[in-house]
Amino acid sequence: MNVNVSLSAAVAALLFTSPALAEDAAPADAAAPAADTAADAAGAVSDATATQAEKTLEEDLALFWGKRREVSVVQRRLVEKDGRVDVTAALSTIPNDDFIAYFPLGLRAGYHFSESFAVEASFAYALQNPSDLTTFLKEDPQISLKEAEIQEKIDMFYNVAVLWAPIYGKVSVLGNKLTHFETYVGLGAGVFHTTTKDANNPDPQPEVKPAGNTVLGFRWFINDNFNLRTDYRHYFFQKFGGGVSIPAEFSLGLGFLI
């Protein structure tokens, strides 16, 4: 009898104890979903939890954006020049004369018969200013500089050149604006009008001399009509008294495409 009572008491105690144990274990089991939720919020879910459909979608998106991010080498030009006329007003300097600093004022007109090739005619009138060396020699009382010693001065010149623009590109200005440009080279021929003075003849004598020139320049496009031009031009003509005169011209111009 006592044995039966004892067994009944043990079974009852076990039944009452099991729910309590379950209730004590429940918080530990609930902590796992909470941790998973926190991981989802932090974006730290491992790839092992992704379904096959999610993995396939991710691969498709990678392929899509990879194609969208491809950079094409050939881009559409900002300005089409083929068949258009380009008129440019330019201010230049010729700094490589020892006695005179020249500041040519020029006008250029060119026709683009393709995107890469153009023919251009130019004219410039050369403003003159004595160099520091000339001023020093004239003002120093111990040195006598005669006008005859400056044997030749450039008055004006005009040329016709063929230009080839093999390079077209664009650069970023301050990381905000893309500027389109082209680089061109050219060869030309023309005429220089000079004034010469011989020691035996005090009167200035006009001279007309054939000349050749080479061109290296950059055209910076502002919009479809306006552009800035920076040019380096080197001229060659017969020097008074023998030899070759080689004036080098640096110019800045504002161009207008018609």
- Span 82-118, pLDDT tens digits: 999 999 999 999 998 888 889 999 999 999 999 999 9
Confidence of residue 158 (pLDDT cuts 50, 70, 90): very high
User: Which amino acid makes up residue 24?
Assistant: D
Residues of the chain with pLDDT > 70, as a percent, come to 68
Confidence of residue 137 (pLDDT cuts 50, 70, 90): low
Rounded to an integer, the average pLDDT of 222-226 is 92
Compute the chain's Rg from CA coordinates: 42
Q: Helices (H) and strands (E) in the chain — how many of each?
A: 3, 9
Non-local (6+) Cβ contacts of 214 within 8 A are 185, 186, 187, 188, 233, 234
- Residue 99: the pLDDT is 81
CB of 152 within 8 A of CB of 239?
yes
Q: Which two tokens stand for residue 56?
A: 């396939």
Q: What is the pLDDT of residues 42-83, one digit of tens each?
A: 444 445 677 878 878 888 777 777 666 655 444 567 788 999
Confidence of residue 142 (pLDDT cuts 50, 70, 90): low
Q: How far is CA 196 from the centre of its chain?
A: 43
Looking at residue 165, what DSSP letter applies? E
Distance CA 204, CA 193 (A): 13
CB of 27 within 8 A of CB of 21?
no
Return the CATH class of domain 85-257: mainly beta
The reported pTM is 0.65
Distance CA 102, CA 235 (A): 14
158, 161, 165, 166: CA torsion to nearest 10:
-140
Q: Where in the chain is the domain with CATH 2.40.160.20?
A: 85-257
- Residue 59: the pLDDT is 80
Q: Which of 139, 140, 215, 212 is nearest to 184 (CA)?
A: 215
Q: Sign (positive/negative) of CA torsion 228, 232, 237, 239?
A: positive
Q: How far is CA 166 from the centre of its chain?
A: 15
- Residue 198: the pLDDT is 76
Q: Which of 110, 57, 65, 80 is nearest to 217 (CA)?
A: 110
Distance CA 2, CA 189 (A): 133
CB of 160 within 8 A of CB of 210?
no
DSSP H helices, the chain, are 2-41, 52-68, 132-139
